[in-house]
Structures are given as structure tokens and as C-alpha cells.
Amino acid sequence: MGNGRAATSQMRQGFLSGLRDLSSFPCLQRTAEYEVAFLTDVEGNIGYFERWVQMSRILAYTGPDRKALTLTHPRAYFVYGGDVADRGDGGERLLRLLVGLKRDYPDRVSLLVGNRDLNKLRMTSELAPSDLARHHSMIPPIHWDISAPTLSQYLEEVAAARGGGATADDCDCAAERLRWM
């Protein structure tokens, strides 16, 4: 058993020493055509974001006031993976920085929507007066969780829990729709 480990260790050492001399790998000597940075789930923590920008080779602040971002070179691309705001108190500032960057570099900056972002958008839509005016049976089920109850099913459960002959229609209000979300 010891001989097997020694042989494996020797093979690993030989492989790693071969990697130290990259001249035999021309593909590793080329300059990359693009340089992409990816960041996600900052959730409003502006201090974390500022530290990340300081270490980044892709993003930099444009001035001492830190009110705008820029890409650092012509081959730089940036992707934000979602969940901009939620826990920290810098969500609005972070949103403004990212949207400004996207406006300045529309073809080189991609902003993806995360689950927390989507939930916030969902609230503004589904709690709007026009949507609240729709009968609960007309609200489609959520497509991303097929096991989740429909709004009507949820309201029927709420009515049953209340008792006293309450119906789903009696329980249909903005507060219950928010709880359902």
C-alpha cells in the first residue's frame, strides 16, 4: 500500500514540475481576448462591494465621490448575477451604480435578476390595485414551484383555519396575498 502512495506522489510531482514550464503550452501564453468579472449576491452590502471593486481588475470608480463605475480596459466585461438589495443599507446606491455602468457599457455589462430581486418585482406587480381587483381564481400558479398552492387553494386553507363559515372570497385581501407570496 505504501508503494502505491509513493508512486502516486512521484507521478504528481512529475506532473506539477512539468506545469512549471509553460513554454510547451502556447495556448497559455496568449493574452486573453476578453476578461470577465462575475459578482453576485451583494444584497445591499455596499462596504463589501467597495472592497470588491478595489481588488477588481475589471471595475473601478470614476472619481473620488464614488458615484459612478467604469470598466478598466477595452477587453473588460462584467456580469452581475443578481440579488442587489435586501439585507444591507446600500441597496439603492448599488442599484444606481450598476444601472449607470450598464448604461455606459450596454454591450459589455450584463445584469441578471436574482430570486430576491424577482420577489421584489413580484410584490409591486401582484399587490398593485389592478391585480388585487382580479378574482383570486384568475391568478395563475407560480411556475417555478409546482408543489406550491395556487392563490385560491391558499385562501381556502386560510378560510378553513378561520372557521365560522369563512370563504376564500372573505379572506382575499392584500395581506393574505402577501403571505401567499
pLDDT tens column, 24-46: 666 666 667 899 999 999 999 99
Q: What is the pLDDT of residue 171?
A: 95
Regions in the chain scoring below 70 on pLDDT: 1-31
Q: What's the grid cell of residue 169?
A: 372570497
- 77: phi then psi, degrees, rounded to nearest 5: -130, 150
CB 90 within 8 A of CB 51: no
Residue 12: what pLDDT?
A: 55
Exposed (0-12), middle (13-18) or buried (19+): which is 91, by Cβ within 10 Å?
buried
**pLDDT for res 7:** 60
Predicted pLDDT of residue 40: 94
Please tell me the pTM assigned to this model: 0.63
pLDDT at 42: 94
Check: CB of residue 178 under 8 Å from CB of residue 127: yes
Q: How far apart are CA 104 and CA 143, in angstroms?
A: 34
